[in-house]
Amino acid sequence: MHDLFPLLAEYGAFAVFLNVLLTQAGAPLPAVPTLLVGGALTLNGPLFFMELLPAAITGALLGDGLWYLAGKRYGRHVMALLCRVSLSPDSCVRRTRTQFERWGAPLLLVSKFVPGLSTVSSALLGTMRTPFSTFVLYNLAGSALWAIIWLMLGRVAHDSIDQALRQLDLLGARAIVLILLLAVAYVTVRWLQRWRFRKMLEMVRISPDELHALIESGAAPVIVDVRADSSRQLQPQRIPGAVLYDMSSQHNAIEIDGPDREIVIYCACPNEASAVAVARTLMSRGFKRVRPLHGGIDAWIARGYGVEHVVPVTPATLQAAEARA
């Protein structure tokens, strides 16, 4: 194995630190294989477990810390950027936000074991103004747990890893081609998933100007705000009269009289992903005139149209708002 991985064998802790740092910073580089091989190399040398562990933890803390600070400084714009550059569907931010609203910062203890969750969660905690000390505490514990498990698995599976690497060594240049093909296949599958998701998002939208004209004409549609509660806290305005809907709740339902009622749904997420998801649900229930608001609440505010302060989301206020609709 020493001959097969001279970089890791020679630079050891620094190679692990750099790999984990770049991975957590957002580079498409997997860190788990490095931890597994590094753990295997600690069984009989030349590396040492107590050198690799602090290196992995430090790299994770620095990478996650960058996203936390970016989220705290730039807010929702960072979340939008993450979903635009990610190979994961744009609903990643909403799902992550929902999980953090339910579990809070302790979710960092397991976030690194879920692909795509770690980077998004760090930035999200920044946008939610989670105290830096709380972020560091749970991120440190989660990073240590993640690194220990993978390094120990590498030690336990030393013989299997050694055999696999020797097979790759026998393949020579063909091993590089095989690894590249697997990487291309992985990216292709993820890209196809994203392409299918974007196709799902293709539906007729209503512009802020069109919605404003409807409201001014007196033929105001039912307007539904499907932002997460934490998103409303960061941006405590809504379109006047909008129904507040909590997508994370299994008990709330949007009750609207008449399948021909005009319905406009908005959120504050890239490509109006959440709004489209709710719109399609309503359409499957027989509502015919459902449209997401193009650009969401941000586009509405940017056009200078009126807003009102968001009241706290409770079952009572939600039922009252739906009754008025």
In this structure, of 19-23, 109-113, 285-289, the range with the lowest mean pLDDT score is 285-289
The pLDDT score that the predictor gives to residue 153 is 93
The percent of residues above 90 in pLDDT, for the chain, comes to 23
Provide the whole-model pTM: 0.62
The pLDDT score that the predictor gives to residue 52 is 93
Q: What is the 3-state secondary structure (H, E, C) of the chain?
A: CCCCCHHHHHHCHHHHHHHHHHHHHCCCCCCHHHHHHHHHHCCCCCCCHHHHHHHHHHHHHHHHHHHHHHHHHHCHHHHHHHHHHCCCCCCHHHHHHHHHHHHCHHHHHCHHHCCCHHHHHHHHHHHCCCCHHHHHHHHHHHHHHHHHHHHHHHHHCHHHHHHHHHHHHHHCHHHHHHHHHHHHHHHHHHHHHHHHHHHHCCCCCECHHHHHHHHHHCCCCEEEECCCHHHHHHCCEECCCCEECCCCCCCCCCCCCCCCCCEEEECCCHHHHHHHHHHHHHHHCCCCCEEEECCHHHHHHHCCCCCEECCCCCHHHHHHHHHHC
pLDDT of 317 strictly over 70 = no
| Per-residue model confidence as pLDDT tens digits over 238-248 | 999 888 887 76
> What average pLDDT does the structure give for the chain?
78
- Model confidence band, residue 172 (pLDDT cutoffs 50, 70, 90): low
More confident: 209 or 129: 209
State the average pLDDT over residues 187-210: 74
pLDDT of 25 strictly over 70 = yes
pLDDT of 254 strictly over 70 = no
- Model confidence band, residue 63 (pLDDT cutoffs 50, 70, 90): very high
- Cβ atoms of residues 250 and 210 within 8 Å: no
| Per-residue model confidence as pLDDT tens digits over 49-59 | 999 999 999 99
